[in-house]
Amino acid sequence: MSQLLQHLINGLAAGTIYALVALGYTMVYGVLKLINFAHGDVMMVGVYMGYATAFALGRQAQRSLWGVVVIFAVAMVGCALLGFLIERFAYRPLREKPRLTALITAIGISFALSYGFQLDVGFLPGASPRAFPEVIVPSEWFIVGDRDVVVWNWQVISFLIAVGLMAALQFLVYRTRFGKAMRAVSFDHRTAALMGIPTDRIIALTFMLSSALAAGAGLLYAIKDTSVSPLMGLYVGLKAFVAAVIGGIGNVPGAVVGALLLGLVEEFVVGYAASTWRDAVAFGFLILVLLVKPGGLFGRVAAEKV
C-alpha cells in the first residue's frame, strides 16, 4: 500500500508538469487549429533562460525566494516574447494557407531551435547536457513509516506552482473578457473579427500565454530532472502532446486530466515493470484511448463536409 501511495505522489508530480505544457498545445490548437510542434522547444529555451538567470544571480541569491521568483519571471517573460515573435513572423503570414504549410513551418521552427541551440557559438549553450542549478535545495518534507513514503519539498512546491498556474489559466479563460474573446476566436475567428474582436491580438496573446506556461513547466522539469540539454524540448513536448491528445486536443480540462493520467501510467510502469517500457506503454495508452474515444477523453470528432 505504501509503495502504491509513493507511486501516486510521483505520478501526480510528473503529470502536473506535463499538464502545463499540454495546455499550451491545447490553447494554440483551440484558436488556430494548429499543432504547434515548436512548443516543446520554446519550453527548452525557457529552461536555458532560467539557467542563465540563475548563474547571473549567484549561488546564494538563486536559492532565495526572490531569486526563484526572478528566475521564473525572466524565463516566462522571455518565452512569452519568443512566442509572440514566432506567431507574428512565422504563423500569421500562413494563416489563410493550407494547414499543412503551417504544420511544416512548426516542425521547421522546432528543428531550428533544438539544433540551433546545439551550436557552441556566442550565447548558444552547445550540445553537451548541463546540470541545472539547485534553486530549490532537496529536502524531505514528509516521511511515513520507515521511509515507506517520502514526499520531497520540490514535489510539493512544483505541484503547488503548477496547480496555481492552471487555476490562473482557468480563471483567465472562463472569467475574463480576454477569455471570452479567446473562446469566440476558437469557435470562428472570421465571425469574431466581424463582431469587433481583435483576432490578431487575441491569437498573439494566446501564443504568449502558452509559451509562458511552457517556460514555467520547463523550469519545474529541470528542477526535478536537474539535467538540461537542447533536445529536452522534443522529449517533454512529445509527451505533453500525447497527454493533450489523450484528454482531447482543444479541451483545457481534458489536457490536464490527460497529463495526470499519463504521469500516473508512466510512474506505475517504472515502479511495477521496467523503465525501458515507459515510453512504449505511454504511446500504447494513447492508442487504446483513441480506439475507444477517437476524439480523446473529453474531445469531439469534427465532421467536415466535402
DSSP string, 278-289: HHHHHHHHHHHH
Whether 305 is in a domain gets the answer no
pLDDT at 301: 57
pTM score: 0.90
- What is the sign of the dihedral through the CA atoms of 30, 32, 34 and 40? negative
Whether 248 is in a domain gets the answer yes
Residue for grid cell 482557468 = 170
Whether 297 is in a domain gets the answer no
**Domain extent at residue 179:** 2-292
Whether 283 is in a domain gets the answer yes
Taking a C-beta distance cutoff of 8 angstroms, is the pair 8, 233 a contact?
no
CATH (domain of 64): 1.10.3470
* pLDDT average per 10 residues of sequence, the chain (306 residues): 85 90 91 90 95 89 88 96 96 90 94 90 82 85 77 84 84 90 88 91 94 93 88 92 92 89 93 86 92 87 45
pLDDT at 273: 85
Whether 302 is in a domain gets the answer no
How many separate domains does the chain show?
1
Whether 301 is in a domain gets the answer no
Helix (H, G, I), strand (E, B) or coil at 305: coil
pLDDT at 306: 37
Whether 249 is in a domain gets the answer yes
Secondary structure E strands in the chain: 130-131, 140-144, 149-152, 227-228
Whether 300 is in a domain gets the answer no
